[in-house]
Amino acid sequence: MAEKDLQYVLDWIAIQELAAEYGQAIDVGKDTGDWRRWENVFTPQVTADYSRFMEGEPMRFNRAQMPELARAALRSFTRVQHSTANSVRIHFKTSTQAEVMAYAEVSHFFPLGGIQQEWTIVARYTFDVEKGEEGWRIRKVLLDPIHYRGNPMGLEMVNGKQLVRVKEE
């Protein structure tokens, strides 16, 4: 998309909105249990590559499975907040495909010993997006951690470690 006409601008805005919606929709899903917004950011088939962040390899899902992936990763947290940078880099490959890079700080909150804890990841998201009948949607997501801060137990919790209360006798 070399020339920057009105359609370019409309697509650029729609993709900016999509990058922000990815984070806001997962936060709403965690808060309310309604994951429809988050599911809607994806194409019918999606590749989720969180391998630089969590254990494992990139995974392929249909978008209806994406909420379960999020629920499992976030189950130990009481709240999550994605703060996506307002400077998102978009490289249009064609009029219907683009690569998007967006930086985000994602704060995860959890209680430990009656004290509210925070663990934050600063990361770069790279999205492969495509434009179809539903508009722009994410076909592939890659999460690349840059920095962590706060209680390191947060990373262990994302990887499945559970906090267990032991009753004293």
Tens digits of per-residue pLDDT, 79-111? 999 998 877 899 999 999 999 999 999 999 999
139 φ/ψ sector (left φ>0, alpha ψ -120 to 50, else beta): alpha
Inform me whether the pLDDT recorded for 160 exceeds 50. Answer: yes
Cα gap 89→101, rounded to integer Å: 5
- 16 found inside a domain: yes
Domain that holds residue 24: 6-158
What confidence score (pLDDT) does residue 1 get? 46
Cα gap 48→23, rounded to integer Å: 14
Query: 148: pLDDT confidence band, cut at 50, 70 and 90?
Result: very high
What confidence score (pLDDT) does residue 166 get? 42
- 169 found inside a domain: no
- CA neighbor of 108 nearest in space, from 145, 74, 57, 156: 74
Domains identified in the chain, total number = 1
Cα gap 75→156, rounded to integer Å: 12
What confidence score (pLDDT) does residue 81 get? 94
Average pLDDT over every residue of 46-66: 92
DSSP state of 95: S
What confidence score (pLDDT) does residue 85 get? 80
- 132 found inside a domain: yes
Domain CATH number, residue 92: 3.10.450.50
